[in-house]
Amino acid sequence: MSATESTVASGVIDPESTPVARLLPAMFVSNVSAFIGLLTPLQVLMTLHLTRIAGPSAAAAFGIITGFGALAALVASPLGGRISDRTAARFGRRRTWILTGAIGGSIAVFAMAGTTEVWQMALLWCAIQALFNFQLAATGALMADQVPQRRRGTASGLLGLSAAVGPLVGVAAVSAVSDPMLQWVVTAVAASFLAVVSVLLLRDKQHIPARDGSRFSLVELAKSFWVNPWRHPAFGWAWLVRFLVFCAVASSTYNAFFLMDRFGISAEAVPPTVLLVTLINVGALALTSVVAGPLSDRLQRQKPFAAGAGIAAAAALALMAIASDMWFVYVAAALLGVAIGLVGSVDLALCVRVLPNRENAGKDLGVINMAGLLPQSIVPFVAPAFIALGGFAALYIALGIAALLGALAVARIPEVGRENDPRFARITRGVTVDA
């Protein structure tokens, strides 16, 4: 462990680092900024804009655009982390990309208002996904750079909460105006303004990369997408836990289709019904995040929360599979919110603890983020097969089993203070390039 790693882990703050009282709000505000830019268009603005320019083909066009966007996010997350790791700007390696990602993404959001063709929206949406994921990668890397271990549960909980707060703030802001162009402007301004607030709160001293003879080449960038799980087993298990639990979380993509299929809800009644389900989910998520994160710090335990997330997600999907009326759906939405809140409250803190090398924190956390992004592409790809075999019940049961496997996989990760216990997967340090 390097001197920097030891200092951060011990809870002793470098005088040049951001005081925790400013650091945690700055990270939260940065993530809220990114989620305003990403989720407000995804949940509201793109659907309305596509209806105007694509008419009856809007739904199909939406699927194409979001599919390409998910691919862009998958590439940008580890790439953005790796680039920020190697950035030597005087403004700071993380602050540089928080601000650049947010401003660039906001400009692309603003440009969306002027699109008249689906292909134009697809290109800009890929840019939006890439730029805001650069911002998210740089923000997440601050956990390893500056947050002491004893406060990482709280920080992880706040970052998890930001995924719920961002779209709520964004949707509320655009609902206050009726002009379509102005709605895009409001979204762009809100995202960029909050990013500026975040970087003003942060201290991020200039980073001088180690002179180890390595060059920042295309080959090195390609390695940004891979961390060898055999060489770094604890990291591999943490990646698997996130992937399996987020497969269950991705089930919410099918809420509208499920409600129409199972309960015969009309297309006109779907939006308010989905909104109610979402509000229940977000409420449970928010309450769980703000309680579980600090509690994890107090107990110095992470594994029970991560395992509980998998169990809660499996229970939610079991209820969805057998739902005979809407109350099953409402309870399932609350349970899934609890699951997301639990995993959000400790998952990032747990992943930071098993990083192979905190000098490459941005790159390695980008690989971890891929575990949360991949289900967004994989679940929609395999879902039609499960639905054809056994309806939505088959899909929910399969994803519930994935969540339970995620809960079981937690057992292989060492708990806080037991990192050298031979009964658990090893945490390896100091390797910067993986074959």
**What pLDDT, on the 0 to 100 scale, is given for residue 334?**
95
CA dist 341 and 157 (Å) reads: 7
Residue 1: the pLDDT is 41
- Confidence (pLDDT) at 189: 97
User: What is the band of 145 on the pLDDT scale with cuts at 50, 70, 90?
Assistant: confident
Mean local confidence (pLDDT), 76-104: 88
- Give the pLDDT confidence score for residue 382 in this predicted structure: 80
| Residue that wins the pLDDT comparison between 365 and 126 | 126
Q: What is the pLDDT of residues 301-342, one digit of tens each?
A: 889 999 999 999 999 999 999 999 999 999 999 999 999 888
Q: List, in order, residues 6 or more apart from 324 with CB less than 8 Å away.
A: none
Choice between 118 and 359, residue whose per-residue pLDDT is larger: 118
Domains of the chain: 1-208+217-225 (1.20.1250.20), 227-429 (1.20.1250.20)
Q: Between vectors from CA 294 to CA 291 and to CA 300, what angle results, nearest 5°?
A: 125
The model carries a pTM of 0.73
pLDDT above 80: residue 394: yes
Q: Look at 92 and 226; give whichever has higher pLDDT.
A: 92
Find all residues with CB under 8 Å of 8, minimum gap 6, and list them.
Answer: 14, 144, 145, 146, 147, 148, 149, 358
State residue 13's pLDDT score. 47
Residue predicted with more confidence, 381 or 143: 143
Residue 147 has pLDDT above 90, yes or no: no
The mean pLDDT value of the chain amounts to 83
Which of 29-43, 58-72, 256-270, 391-405 shows the highest mean pLDDT?
Answer: 391-405
pLDDT per residue as tens digits for the range 150-188: 887 788 778 878 877 887 788 788 878 888 899 999 999
Query: What is the percent of the chain where pLDDT is above 70?
Result: 87
Is pLDDT at 213 greater than 60 in this prediction?
Answer: no
Query: Does residue 407 surpass a pLDDT of 70?
Result: yes
